[in-house]
Chain A
Amino acid sequence: MSRKIDITLTVNGAAYAHAADTRSTLVDFLRDDLKLTGTHIGCEHGVCGACTVLVDGEAVRSCLMLAPQADGASIVTVEGLGAANGELGALQRAFRKHHALQCGFCTPGILTTAHALLTQEPDADADRIRDVLSGNICRCTGYVTIVQAILEARDAYRRPADAGTSR
């Protein structure tokens, strides 16, 4: 039988203590319990990448993690990618400039994936970016503008102080 377990975690820099259902996925916990609805649910079984968030600095699919497994973790969702002053972060600005989104459904997962990638590999080239994007499905853009936007945002990540993201 499922039951509630008390967990503590940090999401976008804010600390939370919350009772999580043992059958709840991390994405449902973020959306339904913490009301952070920026993270999207597409397939709910690991193939589309829409639900990507960072867990302790690594991009993961939040539909393939149980909420109790995030106990003690530090999480960054798309809501955490803006600049401290409330403006868009470097990746978000580049996405807007290059029209790297149309319907926007895949965008939170692609932004978080690219944020993890550029934080770890600020010199990732177009091939590496495409390789990493193989895990994110976008039905609208054809990816060309997404790759352009990520390439452009690299510059900000090479100088972490002005990456333009709050965390």
Chain B
Amino acid sequence: MKLPDLDYIRPGTLQETIDLLVAYEGEAKLVAGGQSLMPMLAFRLLAPKILIDISRLPGLNAIDIGPDGVRLGALTTWRDIERHAALKTAHPLLAAAIAHVAHYQIRNRGTVGGSLAHSDPASEFPALVTTCDADVVVHGAGGERVVKGSEFVLGAMTTSLEPDEMITGIRFPAWPAARRWGFEEFARRRGDFAMAAAVVFYDLDAGGRAADPHIGIIGEPERAVRLAAVEDLLTGRVIDRDVIAEARAIGEQAAQTSDDIHTPAKYRKALIGTMIERALMTAAGLELRPVAA
């Protein structure tokens, strides 16, 4: 469908953007890459009075790698991440997970800030923010504030952003070089939204046991979540095939799925279990056993 009747403005600075958000009192929508917003407008799910184009705001598309971790400006695109060679060692999980986001043409325009603000429960980036507990840097009429990654996404397409606020950056904590990690996703077609995915990482203590494991999943209807039951199971254990089998079973049990147009709840639970198993196998450097014919 054609877009609803709307006006358009392209402010030159962050402050002008915030002033416009304040002046329109919730009747304006920011547009960054437009790769989620434009379909919503075309379906007439939204009809804002005006679009505020932030895609050319200066200084918001930098990728900074430092001792404190990786900072992504809100306007960083999927392609920027894909092309950034140093990210593959500075944050290999981020680089690997983002390779699953959308198709070629969409990757050229879609941004990390837009993905997080949109917070589709099946999208990869919010799952990374949640699982890594990244800091979300937000600017609004009251100045800057930082929201913890675990508290930013509240539910499907719902975040803790106020109407006069925008995301300016995301800060991922430093990634130790020896960290073990895995990312596994199931989608029907390359580049489609995940039906299920697992985001997994842990460090090794002196005895080769898992320390501070983080296990996040995509597949619940509201948002990506961490599975505390699986993290508790893995803490202090040597990650071998038996532990992974247990983690898969507990993860499947803990995941809260529901029937939807894509899959029955039970199938999605099984998918989540399989993704947890595969991601842990990768993290532990183990090979999946071939399925008996």
Interface residues of A (CB under 8 A from B): 1-3, 5, 22-25, 28, 44-46, 49, 52, 58-61, 63-66, 68-69, 71, 113, 116-117, 130-132, 134-135
Contacts and interface: CB of A to CB of B under 8 A. Distances in A.
Interface string B20-50: 0000000000010011001100110000010
B8 A5 contact: yes
Contacts of A23: 2-6, 8
Contacts of B241: none
Among B6, B7, B104, B105, chain A packs the most CB atoms within 10 A around the CB of B105
A69 B4 contact: no
Given A23-B2, A58-B79, A135-B104, A64 B43 contact: no
B105 A66 contact: no
Nearest to A49: B105
A162 B1 CA distance: 41
Nearest to B77: A58
B109 A68 contact: no
A28 B42 CA distance: 13
B264 interface: no
B106 A22 contact: no
B103 A45 contact: no
A135 B34 contact: no
Contacts, number: 95
Interface of B: 1-8, 10, 31, 34-35, 38-39, 42-43, 49, 51, 53, 55, 79, 102-106, 108-109, 189-191
A113 B109 CA distance: 14
Given A23-B8, A28-B2, A60-B108, 12 more contacts: A2-B5, A2-B6, A22-B6, A22-B8, A24-B3, A58-B79, A61-B109, A63-B38, A64-B109, A65-B38, A66-B31, A69-B53
A132 B104 contact: yes
Contacts of B4: 23
A131 B31 CA distance: 27
Contacts of B51: 22, 66
A60 B190 CA distance: 18
Contacts of B55: 69
Q: Of residues A1, A24, A63, A69, which shows the largest number of chain B Cβ atoms within 10 Å of its Cβ? A: A69
Contacts of A52: 105
Which 10 interchain pairs have the tightest Cβ spacing?
A135-B103, A22-B8, A134-B190, A45-B39, A64-B38, A58-B108, A45-B42, A132-B104, A134-B191, A23-B3
B282 to A, nearest CB: 20
A60 B77 CA distance: 13
Contacts of A24: 3
Nearest to B83: A120
A2 B5 CA distance: 6
A74 to B, nearest CB: 14
Nearest to A57: B108
A117 B105 CA distance: 10
A64 B55 CA distance: 13
